Amino acid sequence: MGRLLRRYWIPALLANELPDHECPPVRVKLLSERLLAWRDSRGRYSLIDEFCAHRGVSLWFGRNEENGLRCPYHGWKYDYTGQCVEVPSEPEESGFCSRIKLKSYPLVESGGILWAYMGPPEFKPPLPAFEWAELPAAHTYFSKRWQECNHLQAMEGGIDSSHVSFLHSSELHADPLHLGTKGAHYQRDRKPKFEVIESAGGLYIGARRNAEPGNYYWRITQWIMPRYTMVPPYGDNALNAHAWVPIDDENCFAWTFTYHPTRPLTAMELETMRRGGGIHVALIPGTFRPIINKDNDYMVDRGAQKAGRTYSGVKGIAVQDASVQESMGPIADRTKENLVSTDNPIIMARHRLRRAALALQHGTAPPGLTPECHRVRSATFVLPLGVPFAESKREDLKVRQGVPHTSI
């Protein structure tokens, strides 16, 4: 499974984490590897092993100077590819430098995100072509947060539409990016039925609820291998998507991409998200850890829970998700699960991941690598009973430049 995850580009950093040439380096932990991201004097991005090859000093303390990062301990210097270019204690003619190279990975900026590729160089795929990475900056707002659990149980929450009618029910009628929409109204039906169909890059996950007589309200979530979920939209509000990136076995980064295909985000939307509204969170300054976290029991308000002001007593959609997902423990014990029909999307995603990992052992390239797999949208709509969503709304589930997304 680790080899499978390495075959895809990974959102590693926000581009503003490395804002300038020769800016301070940033510690990065991905797939249990401790790495360092930095920019050299020419602005080239670098992602290398965090530790000097001499005696293991963290290069986070290094001097970023003259197209290289110099270890402060004994002055060994590395270029953006991880190649050692200077060892002051050794004569240049010895060629010692040429034999020293740190592990490094490609790090490329696209759409305000720094993407890392940690797989075999010969299998490096095209850069991701998600809609949010190709829109003007005024149409987008991105954030990431540290989540203290395995990435898979976090991601599975992103493809579980049934919990919205319970865990998030109060927020749908209070959060300014959800309240007043027909979608929020229809989710009072707490018994959704699921129709899950394989797509080229993952799954179409259709959750239907009762609407007006003779009609169903459909929420279509896109799951794109191996880590992306696209959240069904509400009214003319922006679209949202997540990426769940493993830091190690027990921690992940939850990325949130908010974007509108046909208009800039409004001042109200941006201010709401910066304050931790919508599906974003407020962070402890200087970190990616939410202010509301497991150490303060997510500031659960039992009075608000009992009075119905918040269903779980926890405020904020993203924090509500983190509270239940982290409560399972760092790695959920799935032998204790009792899955039901509303868990079909999770079951199918697990099977798809497992099949891809096994096929990779026999040389079959993973699905979800091509731009066509990324150029899709989530959607919400009402259809008459008996009308299949996958056929009648096929075009609505694709990116159509200049055309608004389908939403109610």
pLDDT band, very low/low/confident/very high, at 146 (cuts 50, 70, 90) = very high
Residue 402: per-residue pLDDT:
94
* CATH T-level fold of 2-123: Rieske Iron-sulfur Protein (2.102.10)
Residue 54 has pLDDT above 80, yes or no: yes
- Mean pLDDT, residues 243-261 taken together: 98
Of the pLDDT bands very low, low, confident and very high (cuts 50, 70, 90), residue 404 is very high
Domain pair 2-123 / 131-397, same fold? no
Q: What's the mean pLDDT in 124-136? A: 96
In the predicted structure, residue 179 carries a pLDDT above the cut 80: no
Percent of the chain's residues with pLDDT above 70? 100
What 3 state SS string does the chain have? Answer: CHHHHCCCCEEEEEHHHCCCCCCCCEEEEECCEEEEEEECCCCCEEEEECECCCCCCEHHHCEEECCEEECCCCCCEECCCCEEEECCCCCHHHCCHHHCECCEECEEEECCEEEECCCCHHHCCCCCCCHHHCCCHHHEEEEEEEECCCHHHHHHHHCCHHHHHCCCCCHHHCCCCCCCCHHHHHCCCCCCEEEEEECCCEEEEEEEEECCCCEEEEEEEEEECCCEEEECCCCCCCEEEEEEEEEECCEEEEEEEEECCCCCCCHHHHHHHHCCCCCCCCECCCCCCECCCHHHHHHCCHHHHHHCCCCCCCCCHHHHHHHHHHHCCCCCCHHHCCCCHHHHHHHHHHHHHHHHHHHHHCCCCCCCCCHHHHCECCEEEEEECCCCHHHHCCHHHECCCCCCCCCC
For 131-397, CATH gives 3.90.380.10
Q: What would the mean pLDDT of 22-47 be, rounded to a whole number? A: 98
Structure tokens at 225: 């291998």
Q: Picking from 91-100, 157-166, 329-338, which range would have the lowest pLDDT averaged per residue?
A: 157-166
Mean pLDDT of the chain: 95
> Kind of pairing, strands 193-198 and 104-105?
unpaired
pLDDT number for residue 88: 96
State the pLDDT at residue 104.
98
Question: pLDDT tens digits, residue range 313-356?
Answer: 999 999 999 999 999 999 999 999 999 999 999 999 999 999 99
Judge whether residue 180 has pLDDT over 80. Answer: no
pLDDT at residue 61 greater than cutoff 90:
yes
pLDDT for 172 equals 80
Domain range summary for the chain, segments of one domain joined by +: 2-123, 131-397
Q: Does 140 have pLDDT greater than 90?
A: yes
Is residue 186 predicted with pLDDT exceeding 90? Answer: no
